[in-house]
Structure 1
Amino acid sequence: MPVLTKQRILNASVRLFNKYGIDAVRLQQIAEEIGISVGNLAYHFKTKDAIIESVYEQVLDEFTHIFRQYLQAPELSAFDQQISLYYQFFQNYQFYLAEFFKTNLQQTEQQIQWQRAVNKMLVQLRSWLDFHVQRNIFRPETTRGQYDQVAQSLWMSLVFLPVFYAMRGQLTDERAYKQAVWEHLKPYLTEEGVSEFDLLIMPILA
C-alpha cells in the first residue's frame, strides 16, 4: 500500500530535522525532499508549525507504543525486545533530544510532554527491576535505594548512548547498544538469572 502524501511529508520532515535541526529546515526543502510543490504541501500542512506539531504527536505515539510492550512476557527476552524498540526510536528521532535541551525562557508544551514521558520511562524501569527481584532473577537490594540508582543508570544508557558514541566520533549499532545496556544489569543477576540470561539473551548478543 503506498504511503499517503501526509505521512511522506512527516517522514521527510523527520529526516531533515535529524540532519539540519528543526530551525534550519524550510517548507521548500521538505517539499523538494519528496518531489512535490510547496502548494501541494500547504494543502496538507498550512505552516511549518503544523508539521512540527504532527511530528511531535507521532514521536509521543511511538514512545507510548514502547511503553505498551512492558511486561508482555515475564522473561528477560521481553525486555531485550523493548531495548530494540528504544534503539530504533532514538535513532529515528535524533533531533528530539537536541530540541529538548534548547535554552528557552519558558518550556514549550512539547518539552513538558517529553519530560512526562521520560519520567514515566524511569518509573517503569524501576518497576521492572522490582518485578524481576520477585522472580528471583535479580538479587534483592543490598543497600536502600540501590535499584533507584540502577534504574537511573539504565535510563541514561537507553536515552543517551547513541549521543555519547556520536560525540566521540564512534559508530554504534543495535547489538552494541544492547550489550551496553545489559552490562548494567549483569552484576545483579542471581544464579537463576544468569541461567535465563545465558539461555535467552546471550544468543541474541553473540
Structure 2
Amino acid sequence: MDTKERILKTAMELYNDQGVYTITSRHIAAEMGISGGNLHYHFKHTDEIIKTLYERLSVDFDAIILAIASLPGIDLTTVMSFVDRSFELMYKYRFIFLHFVEISMRIPAIKKDYYQLTQRREKEFLTIFEKFKADGIFRKDIPAEVLQALITQIFIVGDFWLSNNELTLKLRGSKAIAHYSHIFSSMFYPYLTASALSGLHK
C-alpha cells in the first residue's frame, strides 16, 4: 500500500473513531509515523482527504446501484442482499454520515455533489421500482406520489440511521448493520405483492 492509500486508510479509521473535528493532519501523520510535510505532499489539507473519501463512497454506491439496475430479473432475496451491502458500505464510511451536515457546510463541493447525486439517484430508484413491478416484487397499483415519498424516506433513513444509532442503541459493527438494514427493508413491506411476501416468509 502506497503512502497516499495509507493516509486515506488511517484518516478514515481516526475519523470513524474520533470524528472529523477532533482529528487534524498532525494526528494522521503521527498515527502513521510520517512527517506532516510528507502527508501534505499528497493532500494539502484535511478537507482534501475528506473529499477523496466521500468520492470513493459515491463510486462504491454507484457500483451497487448499477449492479441491481443491470440485472435481467430480480427477487426479494437479491434486493435484501443489496440492502445489506449498502449498509455495510455506510458503516465503513460512517464518519461521513455522522457529520454530513457539518461536512457539507465545510466543503461546498460535497454539498453541491450531494444535491446532484440525489437528483440522479431519484431517477435510478424509479427505474429500479419499475423493474420491481415488472418482476412481481412491487404491487402495480402504487401511485407515483407514494413511490416518490418512498424515495425521500430512503434518503432520510439511509443518511441518518447512523446518527439514530449513536443517540439510542449504540450498536457496533455487524449488529448495527443487521439491525438497521432490517428496519430499512421493512419500509418496503407495504409495497410488496402477495407472492413476494410469501417468498419472504419461507
SS of the equivalent of 1:160 reads helix
Give the C-alpha shift of residue 50 in structure 1.
Answer: 3.5
Q: Is the 8 A contact 1:157 1:181 kept in 2?
A: yes
Please list every run of 5 or more consecutive structure 1 residues that lacks an aligned counterpart in the other structure.
Answer: 200-206
Q: Tell me what 2:91 maps to.
A: 91
Q: Tell me what 2:12 maps to.
A: 14
Distance 1:49 1:91 in 2: 20
Q: How does 1:1-206 map to 2 (within 5 A)?
A: 3-73=1-71, 74-102=74-102, 108-143=108-143, 145-171=145-171, 172-199=175-202
Distance 1:71 1:180 in 2: 22
Percent of residue pairs identical = 22
SS of the equivalent of 1:102 reads helix
Q: Is the 8 A contact 2:75 2:135 kept in 1?
A: no
Deviations along 1:31-71, one digit per CA (max 9) or x if unpaired, are: 12222232332343343344334323323222322222223
Q: Is the 8 A contact 2:133 2:140 kept in 1?
A: yes
How many residue pairs align between the two structures? 197
Q: 1:40 to 1:33 in 2, by over 3 A?
A: same
Please list every run of 5 or more consecutive structure 2 residues that lacks an aligned counterpart in the other structure.
Answer: none
SS of the equivalent of 1:78 reads helix
Distance 2:182 2:195 in 1: 20
Q: Is the 8 A contact 2:98 2:163 kept in 1?
A: no
Distance 1:51 1:160 in 2: 22
Q: Is the 8 A contact 2:16 2:95 kept in 1?
A: yes
Q: 1:151 to 1:96 in 2, by over 3 A?
A: same
Give the C-alpha shift of residue 112 in structure 1.
Answer: 0.8
- Matched AA of 1:131: K
Give the C-alpha shift of residue 105 in structure 1.
Answer: 7.7
Distance 2:201 2:195 in 1: 10
- Matched AA of 1:176: H
Distance 1:103 1:39 in 2: 24
Give the C-alpha shift of residue 30 in structure 1.
Answer: 0.2
- Matched AA of 2:128: W
Q: 1:143 to 1:75 in 2, by over 3 A?
A: closer
- Matched AA of 1:90: M
Distance 2:176 2:104 in 1: 33
Q: Is the 8 A contact 2:29 2:35 kept in 1?
A: yes
| Larger relative contact order (CA 8 Å, sep ≥ 6) | 2
Give the C-alpha shift of residue 104 in structure 1.
Answer: 7.9
